[in-house]
Amino acid sequence: MTRPYRTILPIIILLSAVMSLALVPLSAVAYSPHQGDHFGYSETINLGNGTGSYAGYSEHETVTGSESVTGVDGAIVSTGYSYAYSWSNSTGGTNQGTNSGSYTWSSNTFLYVNGTDDQTGYVNPSVWFAMDSSISKGGTFYLLNTLMTVVSTNYSYYLPSLGKVVSTIFAQGVSTYTRDDAYGRFTAAYTWDAYFDPSSGYIIGYNYAEHDTNSSGTGFDYADSLYVTSTSYPLTVLAGNTTTPAASAGTDWTQYAAIVVLAAIVIAIVGILISRRGRRKPLPEHPPEPVRTAPPSIDLTPKEQPAVQQVVIKEVAMVNCKYCGTLIDSTAEVCPRCGAPRT
């Protein structure tokens, strides 16, 4: 007899394969930088929540900057940068300044090649402002020296400079390092959330949060947030939403709708095939009664008990030896001590 699973199994395998393809996000082709690519940004840095020797102390810094691609030679991208900053702290200190320069980076590896945009303290770092936009959800890449994981390829991110929500690639890095600089020596734990344009892979914004502590009880929080104020690459604005979204990954509802439809098709086909097989024998309305067996009979007839053996202990009289006075058995013929006859 042909087993039913031999008919259903090939269909299930085929539909499962289709569903698996639906679960795999469509990978975009990696963007190639062009001369003229640029973005402007606004950055805010705060230090606070101090403990120990940092109790009551705080810092605030604002940075306005830009990055511009000035030329492309194969995979080598020449880029210029400039920024202006304004810094102050809770003790009345202030500082202002500007900086600018040029450097190159690779669009294949995303590593700085010759110089950086004023990044210090890193070993062979990757650029902080771009990623391979073809990396799918769950994939990894580096920003500076931090390993980032793609959390969502369709994340709704509120962009303050537009006052609107845009579609982004959301990546996150969580790590620790040892801070040893003008602030002191601390163990620093941080989370870095970064948001990129799905088409070009260029930065749209990030939020960096760090907590520093040491064994003496001194510590502080360090926060750095950045968002673009202008871009040469068009951003995908999500219509009908101009308020700050909830902090959760965006959902690709089109992909999930396809999964639901395919799942419904699988269920329907399997149901039809099962119905054609005919009904199985229904379960009995009540379980069958268990087989009952008679208990073993008990014989109450008295049984003859074996005769009880009697043991008679004979008492023996003791007398004194008339020669040495030793107490001896009256039946003994000689004294065991002196050897004299009992009588």
pLDDT in tens, 124-175: 999 999 999 999 999 999 999 999 999 999 999 999 999 999 999 999 999 9
pLDDT at 288: 39
**Helix (H) / strand (E) containing 268:** helix 253-276
Q: Looking at residue 23, what DSSP letter applies?
A: H
Task: Using pLDDT thresholds of 50, 70 and 90, give the confidence band for residue 275.
Answer: very low
The pair of structure tokens assigned to 267 is 């269920």
| DSSP string computed for 97-126 | EEEEEEEEEETTT-BEEE--SS--S-SSPB
Spell out where 107-239 has E strands: 112-114, 140-143, 146-159, 164-181, 184-196, 203-213, 219-231
Mean pLDDT value across the chain: 78
Q: Do the beta carbons of residue 97 and residue 88 sit within 8 Å?
A: no
Q: Looking at residue 90, what DSSP letter applies?
A: T
Between CA 111 and CA 119, with CA 113 as vertex, the angle to 5 degrees is 70
Contacts of 292 (CB under 8 A, 6+ apart): none
63 or 259: which carries more pLDDT confidence? 63
Amino acid making up residue 234: P
**pLDDT for residue 7 is more than 70:** no
The three-class DSSP label of residue 153 is: strand
Task: Using pLDDT thresholds of 50, 70 and 90, give the confidence band for residue 316.
Answer: low
